[in-house]
Structure formats: structure tokens, C-alpha cells
């Protein structure tokens, strides 16, 4: 499919502290899908940003002895800089303190008031500032006199105040119908079941405003209240498309969003509240929510409060950004939690990047430099090994688009790295170095097969490790506009006569 519009988002991050590996993880996943879709000829809009209102941020600013906006300006910049460090290809970076966002939130609020979905009453119940979430009494546990949410483990406090409510209870059936009609709205499926069970167990109306603090978007016509930070935050996905101007090109092209990438801790907000708000406002809900698992350190969630953080910036400085991206995408299973460690990172760099893909490229490029003056010519004699490799490659590539369309990155990476492994094996079996003086034609053919494999693997890995693969594609003299997946549809990727450039080392093997 050509030139499909594809709108993909990351969660917007709380600038309540420094970015950590969990943030990097959400962002890199979204970036990989965005890059993949671009290479597959879609017209992609990729959004990330910061979520700057609410009590949590107000408290963080107070702690830093700053006013909330100056505080947000400072930390939001740190998140913006992180996008560069992570090589994110985002088209936009939204802040919920921007005018464009205020306009959208105001409009959405007014629509919900007009439709009768918001009413004024009094809230009495548990609230977690750290999660910015309300919890039911049956979700609260007590330990040493302190109350916690059994869902997230965060402390909760009792809140009683006047509040506007969203009639979430009246959306129960309509949400269940919506999930039924859109059976891949939530992936992976285990998460979908979790959400459906939660909705089936009964939804209570949701408090959507607060009066006990001020740092937020004021409720139109009632300045005593600020809008609940999640109703505010979720709307960022519309604000970036200039909503409420629904006639503008951005909105027309990109709404409904194709994919919101989120962590499993914020699934309820995205899979229940968000479609309910949108349906109530007669706006089409997004097409998909992909909920990834947690990055664990040992068997605990990596988080600031637990003090078990691996700092992404340090890892990038010590090992490189492609290395971090590859490791996180490969190591953490599809939608599940995954434990990460420096030891496993080093093993992964050595086995997959240095010894497999890196070695494949290096050995072929240096052989061609030393023996062929960087020029290779294909001829049409095909050996049994050639056909064998090409057939196996075809089989491994067959499902790649489907894997990506289902956000199954692990299977995708496994198949591509298997192709690289098979190609290394092909070289070992064919031993082109033995043909230098006896059969140049056959030697050229083998090298041509290898270059073609390297070109395909590099394009396939490009969304995950953009730096290294771009070096290889540059060395292969493949034009930028030809770096796409048309070879998956049978198009030739390199010419019969090819001249390559020298290739520098891609990945340093880590000595232990
Ligand atoms: N501001 C909200 C999101 C609003 S989206 C409209 C928020 N922000 S956050 O900064 O706390 O977290 C953002 C994302 O980082 C979440 O998707 C969360 O799952 C992810 N991670 C934070 N820690 C994580 C791990 N240890 N592992 C993986 N991701 C986790 O929630």
C-alpha cells in the first residue's frame, strides 16, 4: 500500500524528574514503528512530548523552589534533548502548556458538557498523586499504617472535594461493543482481555476536575476547578493536529491516530477513558493502543522511587545509541516485562551486532576492497547454495510486514538476524577466498549474493539501528529514496554491476 497516512505517538512524559530507561523504551518502540512505516512508504506523523500539569508536577516544582512553568520549561527541555540522543525521528514535540493544547482541551471539555456527559458533584475517595489516578476502595492495601494502590504500589491519599464527573458508567456497553468491533484495538491480546474484564466488572463515573490545587487548565466558566490531568494529557494527541480545527489538513490526514504506544501502567487511561471521552464527543477513537511491558531491574520495575535505574544517557555514552536501541527492542519480549542488565547488553552487542550483522558486513566489504577494487559483477549462474539461501531468506521475510503491523518486534528482529546468520554461514560454506585464482566469475557471483543480502538486512534493520545501517547503505551507494521495502515485493535492490565504498568498523566487540 502506497502513501497511507500513519499517525503514531509516544506517551507524553511527566517532567517530574530526569528521563530514565522506561521513557527511553516507550520512545524507541514508537520510533522503530515510525521508521518502519516510512520505509514502507507511509506518510508518517510521529509525536512525542511532555505532560506538564497536575499536582505531581506542582509538587516537583515546589521542591525545586521554582514556579511550575519555569520548572517545566527546564525539564521539558531535557526530554526534548533526549529525543536527539535516542535518534528519535519525531515530527513534533508537544507540551501541554502550549496554547494549541489549551484550545483543544477547552473545546473537548465544552463538547462533553454540551453532550451531557459531564456533571458537577462531590468526589470522595482515594487518589494517588504519583499515578495521578483515582482508585476504588477494593484496590487499596494497607501496610504499616500507610495506604497503597494494589495496582501500582503507589501511596494514596483520601480526597473529598467538589468535582466535575464524566459519566463513564454510561459508556460500559458502548465500550464493550467498540472492543468487539475493533478486535485489535488493544494489543497484545492479553491486555485486551484485561481491559474487557475490567469494563465488564462495572465502571464508575470518573472525577475529571480538582479544586485543591491550581496547576492545570482551568475549567471553562468555573475557574475554581482545574481539569483532571489525564483528560488534559490525553487530548495532546488531538492538539498536535490542530484540533478543534477539524477541516485542517493535519487533522484530516492523521486523525484517528494509527497507534498510541504506551506502557501497561497507563493502559486503563488509554483503552477505557480515552475512547469513552472521544465517543462522547463524537470523535472517532484511535485505531490501536499497543501496551508494552515494563523494563525490570532484577524483578522490580525500574523507577526513580525504587532507585534501581539504568541511566540511558550513560549507556549511550559507553556503548552507543544503536546498541541500546537494538538491545531494548530485542531483549524485552513482545508486550511482556523484561529484565535488563549490563551483562546481557554486552552479550547481545557481541553476539548479534559485532559477531553477526557487523561481521557479515565487515568481512564482505574488506574482501571486496582487497580483491575486487570495490567492484562486483553478477552473472546468472546460480549454485545450489545460492538458491538455498535465497529461498530460506524469502521464507523468513514473508511475514515481516505482518509482524510489524501487529507490533511484534521480537519476531521481526529474530527473522532478520536469522537471515544475517544464514548469510554468514553461506560465506563459510562457499569459501569465496578459495576462488581468487581459479574462478573469478563464481567468486563475483557469491559476493553479489552477499551484497544483496547485506542491502536487504540493512534496510530491514534500519528502523532499529539507523546509524550503522545507514553507513552500510551509504557504502553500498543505495540512494536514500531507494531505501525502502520494495524488495519485499520482488524489486531488485542492487544493480548487477555494483561499486561499493570502503566501510569502517560498525560495532566494536566488547572484551570481557
Ligand atoms: N504522563 C503520563 C502519560 C500521559 S500520555 C497521554 C505518564 N508519564 S510517565 O512519564 O510516568 O511515563 C510515561 C511512559 O513511560 C509510560 O508509558 C510508562 O509505562 C513508561 N515507563 C515508565 N517506567 C517504565 C519502566 N520501568 N519500564 C517501561 N516503561 C515504563 O505516565
**2, pLDDT greater than 60:** no
Pocket of ligand 1 contains residue 446 by CB under 6 Å: no
Instruction: State pTM to two decimals.
Output: 0.95
Whether ligand 1 lies within 6 angstroms of the CB of 295 is answered as yes
* pLDDT, mean of residues 169-196: 97
pLDDT at 156 over 70: yes
pLDDT (0 to 100) of residue 307: 66
Dihedrals φ, ψ of 135, to 5°?
Answer: -130, 150
Rounded Cα–Cα distance for residues 162 and 124 (Å):
9
Q: Answer whether 25 contacts ligand 1 (Cβ < 6 A).
A: yes
What is the whole-number distance in angstroms between the Cα of residue 13 and the centre of ligand 1? 7
Measure 409 CA to ligand 1 centroid, in angstroms. Answer: 19
- pLDDT value for 304: 63
Instruction: Express each pLDDT in 16-68 by its tens digit.
Output: 888 889 999 999 999 999 999 999 999 999 999 999 999 999 999 999 999 99
Among the atoms of ligand 1, which is closest to the Cα of residue 233? 6
What's 89-146 look like in SS3?
CCCEEEECCCHHHHHHHHHHHHHHHHCCCEEEEEEEEEEECCCCEEECHHHEEEECCE
- Residue 1: is its pLDDT beyond 60? no
Is the CB of residue 387 less than 8 Å from the CB of residue 449?
no
Is the CB–ligand 1 distance for residue 301 below 6 Å?
yes
Kindly report, residue by residue over 425-483, the tens digit of the pLDDT.
Answer: 999 999 999 999 999 999 999 999 999 999 999 999 999 999 999 999 999 999 999 99
Ligand 1 in reach of 12 Cβ (< 6 A)? yes
Q: How confident is the model at residue 332 (pLDDT cuts 50, 70, 90)?
A: confident
- Ligand 1 probe mutation, 8, 23, 54, most atoms within 8 A of CB: 23
pLDDT digits (tens, 9 = 90+) for 344-393: 999 999 999 999 999 999 999 999 999 999 999 998 778 889 999 999 99
pLDDT of 381: 77
Question: Hey, what's the cell of 211?
Answer: 479544586
Q: What is the reported pLDDT for 322?
A: 98
Cell 514503528 -> residue: 33
Q: What is the mean pLDDT of residues 331-355?
A: 91
CB of 229 closer than 6 A to ligand 1? no
**For ligand 1, is residue 16 a contact (CB within 6 Å)?**
no
Mean of all residue pLDDT scores within the chain: 94
Ligand 1 centroid–CA 229 distance in Å is: 14
For residue 405, report the phi and psi dihedrals to the nearest 5 degrees: -65, -20
Calpha distance 3→9 (Å, rounded):
19
CB proximity list for 186: less than 8 A, separation 6 or greater: 179, 192, 195, 267, 271, 288, 289, 291
Q: Calculate what percentage of the chain has a pLDDT beyond 90.
A: 87
Tell me if 232 CB under 6 Å of ligand 1.
no
Mean pLDDT of 311-327: 95
Residue 512 scores a pLDDT above 80? no
pLDDT > 80? residue 302:
no
pLDDT at 121 over 60: yes
Look at the alpha carbons of 400, 405, 406, 407 in this order and tell me if their dihedral is positive or negative.
Answer: positive
The finding on whether 273 has its CB within 6 A of some atom of ligand 1 is no
Domains of the chain listed by start with CATH number:
5-292 (3.40.50.620), 342-499 (1.10.730.10)
| 335 band by pLDDT with thresholds 50, 70 and 90 | confident
What is the rounded average pLDDT of the residues 136-149?
91
pLDDT at residue 333 in the model: 84
pLDDT for residue 400 is more than 80: yes
- What sections of 260-408 are H helices per DSSP? 267-268, 274-280, 312-319, 321-331, 342-348, 359-372, 384-398, 400-405
CA distance 60 to 50: 14
Q: Considering only 68-72, 148-152, 239-243, 506-510, which range has the smallest mean pLDDT?
A: 148-152
15 lines ligand 1 (CB under 6 A): no
Amino acid at each position: 500500500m502506497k502513501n497511507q497516512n500513519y499517525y503514531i505517538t509516544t506517551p507524553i512524559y511527566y517532567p517530574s524528574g530526569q528521563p530514565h530507561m522506561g521513557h527511553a523504551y516507550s520512545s524507541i518502540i514508537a520510533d522503530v514503528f515510525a521508521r518502519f512505516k516510512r520505509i514502507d512508504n507511509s506518510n508518517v506523523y510521529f509525536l512525542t512530548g511532555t505532560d506538564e500539569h497536575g499536582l505531581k508536577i506542582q509538587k516537583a516544582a515546589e521542591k525545586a523552589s521554582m514556579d511550575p512553568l519555569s520548572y517545566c520549561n527546564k525539564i521539558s527541555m531535557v526530554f526534548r534533548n533526549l529525543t536527539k540522543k535516542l535518534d528519535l525521528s519525531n515530527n513534533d514535540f508537544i507540551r501541554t502548556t502550549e496554547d494549541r493544547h489549551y484550545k483543544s482541551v477547552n473545546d473537548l471539555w465544552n463538547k462533553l458538557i454540551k453532550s451531557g456527559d459531564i456533571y458537577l458533584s462531590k468526589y470522595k475517595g482515594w487518589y494517588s498523586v504519583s499515578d495521578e489516578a483515582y482508585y476504588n476502595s477494593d484496590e487499596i492495601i494497607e501496610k504499616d499504617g500507610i495506604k497503597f494502590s494494589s495496582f501500582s504500589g503507589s501511596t494514596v491519599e483520601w480526597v473529598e472535594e467538589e468535582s466535575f464527573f464524566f459519566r463513564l458508567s454510561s459508556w460500559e456497553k458502548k465500550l464493550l461493543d467498540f472492543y468487539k468491533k475493533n478486535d485489535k484495538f488493544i494489543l497484545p491480546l492479553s491486555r485486551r482481555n484485561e481491559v474487557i474484564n475490567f469494563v465488564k466488572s462495572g465502571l464508575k463515573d470518573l472525577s475529571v476536575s480538582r479544586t485543591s490545587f491550581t496547576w492545570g487548565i482551568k475549567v471553562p466558566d468555573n475557574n475554581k476547578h482545574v481539569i483532571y490531568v489525564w483528560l488534559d494529557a490525553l487530548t495532546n494527541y488531538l492538539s498536535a493536529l490542530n484540533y478543534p480545527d477539524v477541516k485542517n489538513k493535519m487533522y484530516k490526514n492523521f486523525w484517528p491516530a494509527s497507534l498510541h504506544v504506551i506502557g501497561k501502567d497507563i493502559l486503563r487511561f488509554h483503552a477505557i477513558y480515552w475512547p469513552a471521552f472521544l465517543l462522547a464527543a463524537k470523535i472517532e477513537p484511535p485505531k490501536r493502543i499497543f501496551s508494552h511491558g515494563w523494563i525490570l531491574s532484577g524483578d522490580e520495575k525500574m523507577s526513580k522511587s525504587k532507585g534501581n535505574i539504568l541511566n540511558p544517557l550513560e549507556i549511550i555514552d559507553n556503548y552507543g545509541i544503536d546498541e541500546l536501541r537494538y538491545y531494548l527492542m530485542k531483549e524485552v519480549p513482545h508486550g511482556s516485562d523484561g529484565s535488563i542488565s549490563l551483562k546481557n547488553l554486552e552479550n547481545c552487542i557481541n553476539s548479534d551486532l559485532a559477531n553477526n550483522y557487523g561481521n557479515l558486513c565487515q568481512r564482505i566489504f574488506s574482501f571486496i576492497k582487497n580483491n575486487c577494487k570495490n567492484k562486483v559483477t553478477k552473472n546468472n549462474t546460480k549454485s545450489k547454495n545460492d538458491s538455498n539461501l535465497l529461498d530460506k531468506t524469502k521464507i523468513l521475510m514473508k511475514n515481516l510486514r505482518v509482524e510489524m503491523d501487529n507490533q511484534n518486534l521480537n519476531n521481526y528482529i529474530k527473522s532478520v538476524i536469522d537471515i544475517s546468520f544464514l548469510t554468514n554461514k553461506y560465506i563459510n560454506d562457499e569459501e569465496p577466498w578459495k576462488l581468487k585464482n581459479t574462478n573469478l566469475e563464481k567468486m563475483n557471483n557469491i559476493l553479489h549474493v552477499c551484497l544483496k543480502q547485506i542491502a536487504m538486512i540493512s534496510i530491514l534493520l534500519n528502523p532499529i539501528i539507523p546509524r550503522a545501517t545507514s553507513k552500510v547503505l551509504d557504502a553500498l551507494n543505495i540512494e536514500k529514496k531507494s531505501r525502502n521495502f520494495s524488495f519485499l515485493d520482488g524489486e531488485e535492490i542492487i544493480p548487477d554491476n555494483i561499486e561499493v565504498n570502503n566501510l569502517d568498523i560498525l560495532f566494536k566487540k566488547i572484551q570481557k
